[in-house]
Amino acid sequence: MKNPFEAFHQTAGRRREIPLDKILKSKEETLTKILKGYEDLLKNEAKDLVWLMQYSTVIKAYSIAEKGIEGIEYTAEDIEEFCYALDRSDQIPYLITGPAGVYISALCNYAKEEEITLHLRDLNVKINLLGYRLPPNKKLIVEGNVGDFTGIGLDGGELIIEGSGKNYTGAGMKRGKIIVRHNLGFNTGHGMTGGEIVVGGRIKGLGKIVGGKVFERDHLIFPNEGVKPFYF
Amino acid sequence: MEIEKVIQKVWPKVRKKHLFPQIPTPKVIEGGEDVALEIKSKQLFISNSFYEKLRDTMDGEEIVEAVLDHGITHYMYCPWDFHTHLTLYNEAKKVVKKKDLAQKATTYFMDVVADTYCVKQKETKIPNLYKNIAKTGVYEVLTSLYEKIWGVDLGSGEHDERVNRLSRIPYLERKRWGESIKKFTKVIQDILEEELENEQQNPQKKPNPLGEHSLDNYSLEEIDRGLREFASAVEDLQEFKETVEDLKEELQEKGYATGGMGRGKGSPIDANLLYYMKLAESYTLPIRKLPIEKRGDLHPHSHMPWEIGKPFADIDVWTSFGKIMPGITQIWTKREGETYGELEGTPDCLIIIDSSGSMINPRERLSYAVLGAACACNAYLKNESRVAVYNFSDALRGNKIVMDFNHEKEQIYQAICRYFGGGTALDLEDIQYLLSRSDNSDIFIITDMQITNLEKLIEFFNQIENRVTAVHLGHNVHSTRFKESTDKKKNISLFNVKNKEDIPKIVLGKIKEYLSSTSEWG
């Protein structure tokens, strides 16, 4: 008897491997590695689900992050994927935005690209500490709003925020430039010794600034007659 | 025409390749040379001008095969149905906010998905087609993307950062299409805006070479089903409303109206009404039919042999051959007659709905009261019964709708969806009037029970014998009071609705102990 499904048998799916499969596979693998490095950081730094924002903890977290990302081949798009993976995650430690910011900063600082754009407009959480220690010849553009301590310890790089930031932006920065399209919060530039902060909107309050320049809507507000440098 | 012969030759091969889809043989149109394909309902039309234009650079059979592969994959894979199309459009709209841009983004995304699927799963000439069609605007980027993700040379040149981002989207993961189209739209948003601006300045619109995706692609039945599924899938009423408002003109042109398909162009679409209609179609509420009553009269049922002592009156002389003899003579066994009550089947229903300030405005958010009432309305109308509506807020001050029994679904929905948002008081005279308009009708009341004259309503319900299905939203002292006061009445059933999932649990016309004892009825 003739098989009635013979015609279907001959047209069985061809299913060939296309480069898209490789791209997606490699993307998944990279994300897994990046997440693994982040989990190691959390194991060390946020065991009790508490992370105190102190000078020493940030330095320690950054050095763990540097080790965590060692040997990982990634691009700016992978960093962005990681940010969204954090946002989607329901694991409580993932949502502690301090270590996340230090880790993302390390990823940006060691990325191959000189210019990195992170499209974070749809992110629900506002990540703190983005742009930490951004080195010279690096440009980080963040589309969306960011949290506290953005661009602290900036070390010669250029950080552009296409949105608003919160408190302590540019605190302790040494050189480089921070451009914020909209507004900033309190203690802006606290302890900064050099570099420039340029804000398109309003600044709620300046911190104790040692050196450098701060512009608000094209006006130099530090140093000027009313605001003198602070000496610690 | 040459193309017709080519279609006749290629069509069986293409059908076989796609596992014999239920699509009629494609037709040829003398369309513009810029658009290869038009899809209307399930009919594919291939443009002869496009074919002739491409004929110089590509083999005729390859052109037709590639265009047909593209068209069929839209049916077989993406979007597959109108619901998927709407969902993708809705997600794209969240990014670009404008209807025209969202439509463009949806079309391009569906093309990428369908073509990538075809290239991966089938033997196709689609890459050759892209190699030979004009690469401008979004198509320039898409051709570049295809080069990267298909691994073929389409002569597009360099891949920029945009293509890198686009190539990381999992186009073939159906479950992630919602998230994927958002990413896709974000990446090409600026080109789409530029394209739209050019089109607005230049009336000579540059069409999509592989055809636009519009409502024309779907039949009215597919649209109806798609809207129903979309209403169940969206997060809230506003999302549904926004999408339907965007497509209102196209839907009306297709002859689709609020009441459903085939109602003609005259009836304007009310997105709110349509939402509740489509959502209510996803729920089916059972109605208990009126129980059978014993009427008391006896009728001859079957024969049995006569024995001495049994009444002569029951002897059937015709089957006893005129003889009175045990064993030969037969008598009739009689049984009590059974019949329905005064009304057979399903009675009419009076829907009493509370639209006072404590209830949700059904035109702003999903109202369980309106959804519940809509489900009840559907259930009775399906059983060919009539429905009356008493929508009240502060009824004594005129904030009410009294609608007599009828079969007009759209009118009933309009009455149900009306929101007053004031105080809460019933006018029992109105209810008595409506009940007098139909014999023994059922009552379906849905409220949060925070009614000023609740005691009078309880008293009224305790006096009547109509079946009452009372649905209260949330628990409060008033609902407890209602429950306690009507607990002993067998014709009143009380249901609580806390969320959407509770609605299918409602049984209309349920009578306590109905299953255990039907004999008490009658």
What are the extents of the domains in chain B? 1-218, 220-281, 293-339, 349-505
- Decide if B121 and A15 are in contact by the 8 Å CB cutoff: yes
| Mutation to test the A interface, candidates B149, B160, B189, most A Cβ within 10 Å | B149
- Decide if A20 and B121 are in contact by the 8 Å CB cutoff: no
DSSP letters for B232-243: HHSSSHHHHHHH
- Nearest CA to CA, how far is B471 from chain A (Å)? 37
Interface ipTM above 0.90: no
Q: Which residues of A touch B168 (CB under 8 A)?
A: 23-24, 27, 77, 81
> Which residue did the predictor score with more confidence, B467 or A12?
B467
| A-to-B residue pairs, Cβ atoms closer than 8 angstroms | 49
Whole-angstrom CA distances from B412 to B380, B399, B417, B422 are: 12, 17, 9, 21
Give the chain A residue nearest B18 (alpha carbons). Answer: A11
Q: Which residues of A touch B165 (CB under 8 A)?
A: 77
Structure tokens at B275: 């939402």
| Mutation to test the B interface, candidates A11, A75, A122, most B Cβ within 10 Å | A11
Q: Which residues of A touch B161 (CB under 8 A)?
A: 117
pLDDT at residue B357 in the model: 92
Q: Is B52 left (phi over 0), alpha (psi -120 to 50) or beta?
A: alpha
**Considering chain A, what is the average pLDDT of its residues?**
90
Q: Which residues of A touch B151 (CB under 8 A)?
A: 18-19
Q: Which of residues 88-127 of A touch B (CB under 8 A)?
A: 117, 119, 122
Per DSSP, the three-state class of B46 is strand
* Nearest residue to A209 via CA among A219, A221, A217: A221
Q: State in Å, rounded, how far the first CA of chain B is from the last one.
A: 77
What ranges in B77-160 are assigned the alpha helix state H?
A: 82-96, 99-121, 126-132, 138-150
Dist. CA B316–CA B300, nearest whole Å: 10
Whole-angstrom CA distances from B360 to B356, B364, B366, B421, B472 are: 8, 8, 8, 9, 13
| Mutation to test the B interface, candidates A5, A10, A15, A18, most B Cβ within 10 Å | A18
CB of B507 closer than 8 Å to CB of B288 = yes
Structure tokens at B113: 């998905």
- For A55-104, what is each residue's pLDDT tens digit? 888 999 999 999 999 999 999 999 999 999 888 887 766 767 788 999 99
CA angle A42–A48–A54, rounded 5-degree value = 70
> Which residue did the predictor score with more confidence, A216 or B257?
A216
CB of B442 closer than 8 Å to CB of B415 = no
**Could you read off the pLDDT tens digit of each residue along chain B, which spans 522 residues?**
788 999 999 999 999 999 889 889 999 988 666 677 888 878 888 888 888 888 889 999 999 999 999 999 999 999 989 999 999 999 999 999 999 999 999 999 999 999 999 999 999 999 999 998 887 788 889 999 999 999 999 887 676 788 999 999 999 999 999 999 999 999 999 999 998 888 888 776 677 778 888 888 888 888 989 999 999 998 889 999 999 999 988 888 887 876 555 444 445 678 888 899 888 888 887 887 765 455 566 777 777 777 777 777 777 877 777 777 777 788 887 776 655 555 457 889 999 999 999 999 999 988 989 998 999 999 999 888 999 999 999 988 889 999 999 999 989 999 999 999 989 999 999 999 999 999 889 999 999 898 999 999 999 998 998 999 999 888 888 888 998 888 888 888 888 888 777 877 777 766 544 433 333 333
pLDDT at residue B295 in the model: 59
Q: Which of B116, B123, B151 sits opposite A14 (nearest CB)?
A: B123
Q: How far is CA B346 from the centre of its chain?
A: 24
CB of B408 closer than 8 Å to CB of B263 = no
- For A100-134, what is each residue's pLDDT tens digit? 999 999 999 999 999 999 999 888 889 999 999 99
Give the 3-state secondary structure percentages of chain A, helix then strand then coil, rounded to 5.
Answer: 35, 15, 50
Determine how β-strand A213-216 pairs with β-strand B492-497: unpaired
Percent of chain A whose predicted confidence (pLDDT) is above 90: 71
Dist. CA B175–CA B488, nearest whole Å: 51
- Decide if B149 and A27 are in contact by the 8 Å CB cutoff: no
What ranges in B364-440 are assigned the alpha helix state H?
A: 368-382, 409-417, 428-436
Q: Which residues of A touch B20 (CB under 8 A)?
A: 7-8
Residue type, B123: E
- Decide if A8 and B19 are in contact by the 8 Å CB cutoff: yes
pLDDT at residue B263 in the model: 47
Q: Which residues of B touch A119 (CB under 8 A)?
A: 186
Q: How far is CA A60 from the centre of its chain?
A: 17
Dist. CA B459–CA A219, nearest whole Å: 76
Strand arrangement, sheet containing B27-29: B27-29, B43-47, B37-40
- HSE of B315 in the Cβ direction (CA atoms, 13 Å)? 19
Q: Which residues of A touch B149 (CB under 8 A)?
A: 18-20, 23
Q: List, in sequence order, every beta strand (DSSP E) within A97-230.
A: 115-119, 139-143, 155-162, 175-180, 196-199, 213-216, 219-222
- Decide if B121 and A13 are in contact by the 8 Å CB cutoff: yes
Instruction: Name the phi and psi angles at B317, rounded to 5.
Output: -65, -30
pLDDT at residue B198 in the model: 87
Dist. CA B69–CA A10, nearest whole Å: 18
CB of B325 closer than 8 Å to CB of B305 = no
Determine how β-strand A219-222 pairs with β-strand A213-216: antiparallel
- Decide if B116 and A10 are in contact by the 8 Å CB cutoff: no
Structure tokens at B49: 């001008």
- Residue A162 contacts B, CB cutoff 8 Å: no
- Nearest CA to CA, how far is B142 from chain A (Å)? 14
Determine how β-strand B293-305 pairs with β-strand B330-339: antiparallel
Give the chain A residue nearest B122 (alpha carbons). Answer: A14
Q: Which of residues 102-141 of B touch A (CB under 8 A)?
A: 116, 119-123
Instruction: Name the phi and psi angles at A67, rounded to 5.
Output: -70, -40
pLDDT at residue B391 in the model: 95
Instruction: Name the phi and psi angles at B46, rounded to 5.
Output: -105, 135
pLDDT at residue B335 in the model: 72
B349-505 to CATH, choices 2.170.130.10, 3.40.50.410, 3.40.50.880, 2.30.31.10: 3.40.50.410
Q: Which of residues 367-426 of B touch A (CB under 8 A)?
A: none
| CA-derived radius of gyration, chain A | 22
Dist. CA B455–CA B474, nearest whole Å: 19
pLDDT at residue B516 in the model: 38
Per DSSP, the three-state class of B138 is helix
Positive or negative, the CA dihedral A83, A85, A89, A94 is negative
- Within 10 angstroms of residue B202's Cβ, the number of other Cβ atoms is 9
CB of A79 closer than 8 Å to CB of A104 = yes
Dist. CA B396–CA A151, nearest whole Å: 65
- Residue A18 contacts B, CB cutoff 8 Å: yes
Q: Which residues of B touch A81 (CB under 8 A)?
A: 168
Dist. CA B423–CA B452, nearest whole Å: 8
Dist. CA B514–CA B509, nearest whole Å: 10
- Nearest CA to CA, how far is B17 from chain A (Å)? 6
Q: Which of B19, B20, B168 sits opposite A77 (nearest CB)?
A: B168
